[in-house]
Amino acid sequence: MAGGIGSRFWPFSKTSRPKQFLDILGIGKTLLQQTFERFIKIIPPENIYIVTNKIYSDIVLEQIPAIPKNNILLEPFRRNTAPCIAFANYKILKQNPDANIVVAPSDHMIIKEDEFLKIVKKGLKFVENGDALLTLGLTPNRPETGYGYIQISNDKIFDKKHPGFNKVKTFTEKPDLEMAKIFVESGEFYWNSGIFFWSLKSIIKAFDEMLPEINSLFAEGMKIYNTDKEDKFIENIYPKCKNISIDYGIMEKANNVYALCSDFGWSDLGTWGSIFEHTAKDASGNHIKGQNVFTYDTNNCIINISDNKCVVVQGLSDYIVVDSEGILLICKMKDEQLIKQFVNDVKLKLGDSFI
């Protein structure tokens, strides 16, 4: 899934080139490229599909030349993750009705890649023969308010054949700090990675039962996919699709949802703070990107400045300072969840030119 605009990384991430197409970590590869290279170790390129907005078609082909062009699914509008997944379901159905699928965001960081790929194989094996929807849970190491949580039960129906898999009790979206503390202390809650596994038959059945209006729209195109009429068909049906996530639309309602909880060095890289966690810092705890940055009495800041500017920062602690293409953001690290509001305010007053 590579269609989001990454507004929490504004102004570095903008609609014209969002974070999945950027070298956020400064390692010479974009997040999309890292995700693709991770999966081709166990899945051939012809079996990988990238769902993105139609305005990013050229960027995807430029960054992932190994992907077959027909495997880039272009959405005319953003309608959240449920329509995105339904689109992929029917494209895959046309090719292989017996497929088993892993769904992954394109902008996550995985540190322990070998461990992650073992888990992917284990997850695909788990959904191969049962009517199960599987999510990966991550052991929380802090009461994070920026992540969703899953609560597991002690009901291990598949325990004998598949140790480590638990039935999911509840999903909770981004709790407040006090609730997050309770979740972590309970030992029953895990971060929801947003990485899912299912057989094609199971997920289409789930759509038919819980999001039938979306499922029926895409089912109408079975004779059209992979023909020159596909683009027009998708253009016509997308405005009719409900804007809803797979979590709200299916995972929170289904009674056959399981979790495999583990630790493979995951971060969803959803905020500047998450980048700060995983990058090198100077002696004052600052992460600085930019050739001409001078700091004085400045600690624990993330400072991202273009190389053609000279910037002096004095007296800041725990701040985000980002300069990008005529936009300067200065924000307290603890208040970074407000960046989405800043983006909305700028758009309301100045239009799309800075978004």
- Is the model more confident about 255 or about 271? 255
What pTM, to 2 d.p., does this model score? 0.90
Three-class HEC string of the chain: CCCCCCHHHCCCCECCECHHHCCCCCCCCCHHHHHHHHHCCCCCHHHCCEEEEHHHHHHHHHHCCCCCHHHEEEECCCCCHHHHHHHHHHHHHHHCCCCEEEECCCCCEECCHHHHHHHHHHHHHHHHCCCCEEEEEECCCCCCCCCCEEEECCCCCCCCCCCCEEEEEEEECCCCHHHHHHHHHHCCEEEEEEEEEEEHHHHHHHHHHHCHHHHHHHHCCCCCCCCCCHHHHHHHHHHHCCCCCHHHHHHCCCCCEEEEEECCCEECCCCHHHHHHCCCCCCCCCEEECCCEEEECCECCEEECCCCCCEEEECCECEEEEEECCEEEEEEHHHHHHHHHHHHHHHHHHHHHHC
User: How many Cβ atoms are within 10 Å of 263's Cβ, its own excluded?
Assistant: 14
Q: What is the DSSP pairing of strand 266-267 with strand 133-138?
A: unpaired
Is 7-270 in CATH node 3.90.550.10?
Answer: yes
pLDDT tens track for 59-90: 999 999 999 999 999 999 999 999 999 999 99
What is the reported pLDDT for 162?
A: 64
pLDDT tens track for 125-154: 999 988 999 999 998 888 888 788 999 886
- Is the model more confident about 262 or about 243? 243
Q: Measure the CA–CA gap between 323 and 339, rounded to whole angstroms.
A: 14
**Domains of the chain: which residue ranges?**
7-270, 273-354
What is the average pLDDT value for the chain, to the nearest integer?
92
Q: pLDDT band for position 157 (50/70/90)?
A: low
- Is the model more confident about 279 or about 118? 118
Mean pLDDT of 146-164: 72
pLDDT tens track for 4-44: 888 888 998 889 899 999 988 878 999 999 999 999 999 99
pLDDT at 160 over 70: no
What is the reported pLDDT for 129?
A: 84
Q: Measure the CA–CA gap between 335 and 320, rounded to whole angstroms.
A: 10
Lowest mean pLDDT among 108-112, 159-163, 231-235, 248-252: 159-163
What is the reported pLDDT for 161?
A: 65
83, 1 contact by CB (below 8 A): no
pLDDT tens track for 311-347: 999 999 999 999 988 899 999 999 998 998 999 999 9
Question: Scanning the structure block, which residue is given the tokens 């992932």?
Answer: 64
Mean pLDDT of 108-123: 94
pLDDT tens track for 194-249: 999 999 999 999 999 999 999 999 999 999 999 999 999 999 999 999 999 999 99
Mean pLDDT of 119-127: 95
Q: pLDDT band for position 103 (50/70/90)?
A: very high
pLDDT at 156 over 60: no
Mean pLDDT of 295-317: 95
What is the reported pLDDT for 209?
A: 97
- Is the model more confident about 267 or about 291? 291
What is the reported pLDDT for 81?
A: 96
What is the reported pLDDT for 189?
A: 92
| Angle formed by the axes of helices 200-210 and 81-95, nearest 10° | 130
